[in-house]
Amino acid sequence: MIAFALIISLLGLLLGLIGVAAAIFFILYGLGFFDNLGGRENNPNAVSKQVLADRLLALNDPAKPYQIHRVEGTDLVAEWKIVDAAWYGLFNKNRLSQAYRASLLLDETRHSVRCYEELGSVNWTAGTEGLTPTVHYQNSFFGGRVLFKKEYAVGYGITDPATLEAGKVYEYKFDVNEIRGPIVAAVREGGWEWVPVTVKRNATY
């Protein structure tokens, strides 16, 4: 009986230590201690930070539903044009419910682009100019990597006013890879490393 009680006590102690170790791991993980910050793929032929930033900004296109721009706190941000008056009508018609934002830090020392991704909620409110969007990003303990998010939109209308012929007016796939794909390609073509991070402070100054 004594031996059995001792074994039970030791098992309880072991499980307790495992629980403490797991808790410490998740706390450190949440603080970003296990994030890869880049530098593993050092390329001597990598372009300069300015050249890479210019290439990323050159991805902007009025016909695309996303934009890349400079912001304070990091180098660049890529996001849907939800608050752009030229686009939110389309987003509203298709009841886009989630926004996407990627903070991009260009670390020239490591030749790495650290990316922190976020999904936010979109609220539509009625006003004098019709429905307008408000985007809210909520801080979370874990996050930073959006693996999959896609919404599809298609609309039909008059394509030829003279004949009143109807047809497809627009078709878009609001897929995060529509934003992320060209950015990742430009980063790698520039000889830099693409590094997703799980904590926002690892993609900000």
pLDDT at 28: 45
pLDDT of amino acid 107: 96
Domain boundaries, the chain: 1-30, 38-203
Residues in the chain: 205
**Residue 100: CB partners within 8 Å, gap ≥ 6?**
79, 80, 117, 118, 119, 120, 146, 149, 176, 179
pTM for the whole structure: 0.72
Q: Confidence band (pLDDT; 50, 70, 90) for 25?
A: very low
Comparing 150 with 75, the larger pLDDT belongs to 75
Determine contact, residues 49/108, Cβ cutoff 8 Å: yes
State pLDDT tens for residues 169-195: 455 566 788 899 999 999 999 999 999
| pLDDT value for 143 | 52
Taking a C-beta distance cutoff of 8 angstroms, is the pair 197, 115 a contact? Answer: yes
Q: What's the 3-state SS for 130-175? A: EEEEEEECCCCCCCECCCCCEEEEEEEEEEECCCCEEEEEEEEEEE
For the stretch 50-54, contacts whose Cβ atoms lie closer than 8 Å and that sit 24 or more positions apart, written own/partner, are 51/190, 52/106, 52/113, 52/186, 52/187, 52/190, 52/192, 53/106
Residue 109 vs residue 1, higher pLDDT: 109
pLDDT at 23 over 90: no
Cβ atoms of residues 169 and 159 within 8 Å: yes
* Residue 116 confidence (pLDDT): 92
Which token pair is 26?
């998740």
pLDDT band for position 151 (cuts 50, 70, 90): low
Instruction: Quickly count: other Cβ atoms within 10 Å of residue 67's Cβ.
Output: 18
Look at residue 144 and tell me whether its pLDDT is greater than 50: yes
The distance between the two most distant Cα atoms of the chain, rounded to a whole number of Å, is: 96
Query: Model confidence at 70, in pLDDT bands (50, 70, 90)?
Result: very high
Q: Which two tokens stand for residue 170?
A: 């627009």
pLDDT at position 147 is 52
Q: Please report, to the nearest 10 degrees, the dihedral formed by the alpha carbons of residues 167, 170, 175, 179 taken in order.
A: 150
- In the predicted model, what is the mean pLDDT of residues 24-28? 46
